[in-house]
Amino acid sequence: MSLTRFTLHFWSVKFAPVALFSLFLFTNATGFFYSPALAPSVQALPVAARTVAAEDYIPSDIPSSGDRNLDLIILRAGEKYGVDPRFIHAVIWQESKYKVQARSGAGAQGLMQLMPATARRFGCTNPYDTASNIDAGTKYLRFLLQRFDGNVSLALAGYNAGEGSVDKYKGIPPYNETQNYVRIITGRYGKLTHPLLSPEQARIEFRLLPEVAQVETAQ
C-alpha cells in the first residue's frame, strides 16, 4: 500500500464520526425549522365568530327583495314567530311587491298591507315602518296558522278576507279576489301546510343558520 493511499484512508476514518455528528445536527436543525410548531395552521373560527357570521346569514333559497337589510328583517321576524321567511316573502310580494309606502284603496298599508285595525291588534303603530309592519304582519300569519292548524290556504284566506269569513264558509270564501290570492301565494311558496314551531325549532326546520351553527344548535 502506498503512503498516499494509507494517508487518505486514515483521514477518512478519523473524520467519519465528525461527519456523522455534523449530519445529525443539520438534520435536527432543518427538522426544527419545518416542525409543526412553526408551520402555518388553519384553525376553526371560535363559536363567537361563527355566531356573528350567522347573524347576517340568509339561505340561498330564500327569495330576495333586492334590499339585504329588508331581507334580514323578514328572516328575523320569521325566526321570532316560527314562520318560514319564504312564506313571508310570498305574502309581501303579492301584497305590495316590497313597496314600503304601498296603500290599497281599502286602506291597507305598508309592506304587508295591514288594515289599521289589524295593525293595532298586533302592535304596529306605524304601518310604514318596515320592521314594525313586518313584525305585526308575521305575527298575524302565525296567529292564523295556529288557528287553522297549519293549513296555508286557510291562513292566507284569513289574511285576505278575515278569519271570520273563513269560519263562515268553512273554508276559502267564494270571493274571486281571495281565491286568486290563495292560489298565487301557495303557488309561489310551494307548500300547503306549515309546521307550528318555536323559534329554536324554526331555525333548524327552515335552515336559517349556517350549517355549522345548525349542528351546534341541534346539540
d(Cα 28, Cα 22) in Å, to the nearest integer?
10
95 is catalytic: yes
Q: Give whole-number Cα distances, 61 to 1, 20, 26, 100, 102, in Å.
A: 88, 65, 57, 23, 26
Measured distance CA(112)–CA(142) in Å, rounded? 14
Q: Which residue has the cell 427538522?
A: 31
Using CA of residue 197, residue 76, residue 113, residue 185, what is the dihedral sign?
negative
Catalytic-role residue among 95, 163, 200, 216: 95
Decide if 160 contacts 140 (C-beta within 8 A). Answer: no
- 190-215 residues labelled b (16+ CB within 10 A) or e (exposed): eeeebeebeeeebbeebbbbbeebee
Other C-beta atoms lying within 10 Å of the C-beta of residue 64: 13
**What residues act catalytically?**
95
